[in-house]
Structure 1
């Protein structure tokens, strides 16, 4: 006759195969790790492979390990009864508990489930890309309270953080970094560090990558705030530096982020990304002061652009459009789209660039000619990013671009 332990894991196998396993929770820990509270296990799909995601809940941090199903089941069987005396199996309709007494007697109990979570593998894969509210850093930064419940005033910020991770996750999957175990991210203008902590959590815990994430800010108090929180949480590979994007020495960068850098600070940030060979560049520009005073209102647009609001919108479109084209000339594929504001302003545009794979067609000559045509039409004399790239010899001169265009 099968033991309760065998019966329990037979049910685990059955619900996994039927895709009705919502989650497993292991409790009553007896092992040597003093601050380990419990382990939660969910079925997920990562890069097309069925896996079990183990979340080891400690008092101040979570550690996530994703294992192929067979390997994960072996790990589970070795943990239950040896390190954990309680195991709960949750399905859409019932909760099954395996309880092991101090004397080693195992009992299987069945009850009605009060769980409302979806068991869809597609749903779980989507959730895997987003953050859970019980992440410790959210409490440290004041997004959730001590019970890990969302603070109502932070609901908008919570949505923004998740949206950012969603966009980043998609960019990462389509980039050359998708197969890299080591990633260095630099976040310029990191502020209170909401996104800096979030991207570190996603890379280090959700994806189990060797991630080094650096937040850079001009305000020393924000730097100290971030470093203090990271230290208290015991986070490895996360730090905050005091610095200016114009002269910060970043070393090798894989992902360059700059959200709401004012005016030409965005150009310096993009230049930093290109110069350091970043595979992903993410910018949400703020203010567009450099181009606007240079603009002439060409015929037949003059009657429209006589209105200041239209001229401002035109300056914004041209500044960011030229930034995207300059990135393309330097070997990136770019997207410009509306993004949820991360600072509660109407500045919600994002420039997202991913480096092209080696061997992809060179679009530099054609793109530079397009840039020159646009500048000539609007009589734009200088664009900061273009000047920075030319100063390093990364772009040919305007006359060279015209010659290439006329051939």
Structure 2
């Protein structure tokens, strides 16, 4: 490792010289997209309980910004700034409120420190090739993970997703798969919102049924707020301990607009519902969730069904399929396919653009199918009336083919 040191005692180096050189290096890192992390520490300002500041680059609505994570003894506060504004703020803090600054890039580490008398020292440590490769890989990995969500948000620690490591929030190793799942969900959610009637809406009301420990509920709320939307997100969960855990975390971090209620999708009635989420609602609970979304006129419906029990006992094996469906596992798979196909067709008949695709395993189950429905608007909505009779005919034909008497969502809609 090659290290270049400008000591405190070197006469030609003034506070302005050291700060300006540090800022030039920071500006270069920002311009070249190589900023991994900037840590400001040794706080000496007047704000009570403020300990340090971490700065990273984020991309919000297609725009590069600097994300400032202000770490207090009892809370974290995140604020995002445009590049120029953020750099100006950093420069104003050096040597005035923070006496130590540590810049990390894939090729070097730069430390600016101020003595008690205000004299600066600037240390530039260039990384060896192997260290550069490792740092570059870590930086790339971090950027990929932070594309939609940031691990720096303090509520993740309350939910057990992160822990403190060397003074910084870090992903709990056992939760790495979960973190990938959460980000994948937000990726799908973001794309759905962009193509829905909510794309330009200033506020979005979301209900997450069966919210459990709240990972996705917090993630949706956080992502929507980062997009500048007034997010009103409710997690609905039967288990009282989960409701209390999530409610406490939301209140602790002042997340206005995020709430958790104890309730059942069959009886819960939100005042307004733009996005309906129901992941792993068992058997006909998925049908009740979809029906609630339809009744409320939700613009986006996202379901991950499981435990398909209603259709299988009704199915009469068509003669041509008996050699295949005589095996129980095949009959179960056929029942799942028929059930979700009927749900998708019913959603189409109600005016939704519907997709059924493999998602990624959530929680501790291999069920990874998702039904995504986006309410049609404009010309597509007008064309819906002409297509509806054909869709209903297809549903009736499938039921006749398999000898099905009843499908829950169809019955709910008929009622």
TM-score grouping bracket, smaller chain normalisation: 0.7 to 0.9
Aligned position for 2:353: 333
Match of 2:158 in 1: 140
Partner of 2:402: 378
For residues 218-257 of structure 1, what are the structure 2 equivalents within 5 Å? 218-257=238-277
CA distance in 1, matches of 2:190, 2:244: 28
Deviation at 1:153, TM superposition (A): 4.4
- CA offset at residue 352 of structure 1? 1.8
2:277 corresponds to 1:277: no
Identify the residue that residue 261 of structure 1 maps to in structure 2.
281
Structure 2 gap ranges (5+): 1-13
Question: TM-score if structure 2 supplies the norm length?
Answer: 0.83
Aligned to 2:28: 14
Q: Which residue of 2 aligns with 1:396?
A: none
CA drift of 1:286 comes to 1.4
Indicate how the Cα distance of structure 1 residues 152 and 73 shifts in structure 2: closer, same or farther if over 3 A, else same: closer
Residue 315 (structure 1) aligned to one of 329, 335, 339: 335
1:166 to 155, 164, 187: 187
Cα distance in structure 2, aligned partners of 1:24 and 1:135: 17
Q: Is the 8 A contact 1:21 1:119 kept in 2?
A: no
* 1:191-230 C-alpha deviation (Å, 9 max, x unpaired): 22232233333333x4454322211112223222222333
For residue 102 of structure 1, report the CA deviation from its aligned partner: 4.3
| Structure 2 residue matching 1:301: 3-state secondary structure | helix
Q: How does 1:209-224 map to 2 (within 5 A)?
A: 209-224=229-244
- Specify the alignment match of 2:4 in structure 1: none
CA contact (8 A) 2:66 2:80 kept: yes
CA distance in 1, matches of 2:163, 2:364: 22
In structure 1, which of residues 78, 81, 88 is the aligned counterpart of residue 92 of structure 2?
78
Confirm or deny: 8 A CA contact 2:192 2:300 kept in the other structure: yes
Q: Would you say the 8 A contact 2:36–2:139 is kept in 1?
A: no
1:317–1:86 CA distance, 2 compared to 1 (3 A): same
Question: What are the residue-to-residue correspondences of 1:118-197 with 2, within 5 Å?
Answer: 118=136, 126-147=144-165, 148-197=169-218
2:365 pairs with 1:345: yes
Secondary structure, counterpart of 2:308 in structure 1 = coil
Aligned to 2:3: none
Alignment check: 8 A CA contact 2:58 2:147 kept = no
Q: Does 176-185 or 146-155 show the bigger shift?
A: 146-155
1-side partners of 2:144 and 2:376: how far apart? 26
- Structure 1's unaligned 5+ residue stretches are 392-407
**Partners in 1 of 2:56 and 2:204 — Cα distance?**
26
Bigger mean CA offset, 316-325 vs 331-340: 331-340
CA shift, 1:188, in A, is 0.7
Q: Which moved more, 1:123-132 or 1:2-11?
A: 123-132
Q: Is the 8 A contact 1:44 1:121 kept in 2?
A: no
Q: Secondary structure at the match of 1:39?
A: strand
Paired position in structure 2 for 1:397: none
Offset of 1:94 from its aligned partner?
1.4
CA contact (8 A) 1:60 1:233 kept: no
Match of 2:9 in 1: none
**1:390 equivalenced with 2:414 (yes/no):** yes
TM-score (norm 1): 0.84
Cα-to-partner distance string for 1:87-130 (whole Å, 9 max, x where unaligned): 22222221222223444434322223567444999877643334
